[in-house]
Structure 1
Amino acid sequence: MTGPAAGRPPVLLAVAHGTRSAAGQAQIRDLVDRVACRRPDLDVRLAYVDVQQPRVGEAIRGLDAVVVPLLLSAGYHVRVDIAEAVAANNAVAAAPLGPDPVLTESLRRRIQGADAVVLAAAGSSDPAWRADIAAVAARLDAHVAYATGAELRVPDVVARLREQGARRITIAAYLLAEGLFYRSLHAAGADEVTPPLCADPAVVDLVLTRYHDLTMAPSGL
């Protein structure tokens, strides 16, 4: 990464997946706005790896930036899309937001009183991604399920738990914002679905911690 221009700290370039959901788009923008309000001394910008514009490769061009992936695991988008954009622009990338104890605790606070918990993630064939999901589920004593794919579908896991006698089932949504996957969870047969993770104020702190880990600048936390 190049040195900060005129003593200014590097740009915090938050990079989200992207969604066609208007509600999800608004939630991610609000998260980034809250980060910017917490650190008014920083130039905080938003880019995407899919669906929406600007894409990370375009947004990072010419910037002295720290990329903070608004993603919940080090899957393909982190290892390929973001890594390639960073390498081409002499920038640096922080670790993704997840898995992290902050997110686990956010979910734990919302699953109290459940007989059974289903950790619902978007789904991926990426082995590193699946290992991250399994680790989060283990910490929550939850059953893993996916919103996409042919195995461990959320409705099937909920139905199995119901057959086994669970009376109150909570779906712990391991999703940052609303979208098609999140909406599908409300039709999966559980008693409760936790809000998207970006609703938790602690996620703002986590974004800034990721940035601070690479810059050693005061984070205001």
Structure 2
Amino acid sequence: MTCPDVAVTTLVACSHGTRSPAGRAVIARIRQQLARAVPEAEVHEAYVDVEQPEVAGVVSTAAALGPVVVVPLLLSTGFHTSVDIAAAVGPYQRAVAAAALGPHPGLVQALRERLVAVRGGDAGHRPGDHVVLAAAGSSDPAAARAVEHMRALLAAHLPAPVSIGYGAGCAPSIPEAVEAARATGARRVIAASYVLAPGHFANLVGAAGADLVTAPLGDHPEVIGVAAARYREALATLAQPVN
């Protein structure tokens, strides 16, 4: 007896896109690990800027074959989630966009481990420390609210003050946040890179003048776990097929 064909769900791992070879390698590793974390889905790459294939085309092709879930490999909501990705899934009944990765408690754990990994292993815990959560930034007010939520989650797990700096889109900038921390008496300012991969925004974090800078979140296991959870949450919202 043969079983009827069952449509496999396509997981479209949609990142911003970058010209950085190191950044591209990190995003590729995230996709590879996400494919292992969600073996029931077929994982495809897509982008909202800089690189190809663009997300609308990938969704269009995949939606003709079965259910589609677009997982934004983006840490906050913003223009790319509310416009680009939303427009890509909008025409298709069996396509849905997952939430952005952050804010999420799992990302707090990833940030804390990145802080432990910088020089001395006590970043954010030494008297006089100040942590700047260094985010890419967006002109979308919802993105700023998401980063503020993430700041509050991180601050609840650190004895040091935690403020925010942005690479673009809103104030304060990351250098301004670093200088403001020093002006309030910080002895050591740590920039906690709230970016996924090497590239333009990671470079801005590194050049902001902090005493210590953490690595991007990259393919940290918590990032993969959050992305898999976002996929499953979104998949559950799709209407069941009619027999």
- The 1-side partners of 2:5 and 2:233 are apart by 22
Correspondence for 1:132 = 146
Misfit runs of 4+, over 4 Å: none
* SS of structure 2 residue aligned to 1:7: coil
Correspondence for 1:110 = 114
Q: Superposed, which structure 2 residues align to 1:103-182 within 5 Å?
A: 103-111=107-115, 112-114=122-124, 115-141=129-155, 142-149=162-169, 151-182=171-202
Matched length: 212
Between 183-192 and 50-59, the greater mean CA deviation after superposition: 183-192
* SS of structure 2 residue aligned to 1:177: coil
Post-superposition offset of 1:120 = 0.8
Matched, 1:93 2:92: no
The TM-score normalised by the length of structure 2 is: 0.81
Post-superposition offset of 1:103 = 0.9
Correspondence for 2:11 = 12
- The 1-side partners of 2:224 and 2:143 are apart by 23
- The 2-side partners of 1:49 and 1:194 are apart by 26
Correspondence for 1:37 = 36
Larger radius of gyration: 2
Letter in 2 for 1:45: H
Letter in 2 for 1:166: A
Unaligned runs of 5+ in 2: 116-121, 156-161, 237-243
Post-superposition offset of 1:199 = 3.2
Identity %: 44
Correspondence for 1:212 = 232
Correspondence for 1:78 = 81
* SS of structure 2 residue aligned to 1:14: strand
Post-superposition offset of 1:89 = 2.9
* SS of structure 2 residue aligned to 1:143: strand
Unaligned runs of 5+ in 1: 217-221
- Counterpart contact for 2:9–2:40, Cα < 8 Å: no
Post-superposition offset of 1:150 = 6.8
* SS of structure 1 residue aligned to 2:60: coil
- The 2-side partners of 1:168 and 1:34 are apart by 35
Residues 82-141 of structure 1 show CA distances to partners (whole Å, capped at 9, x for unaligned) of 111101233111111111111122113333432100011112221101111111112223
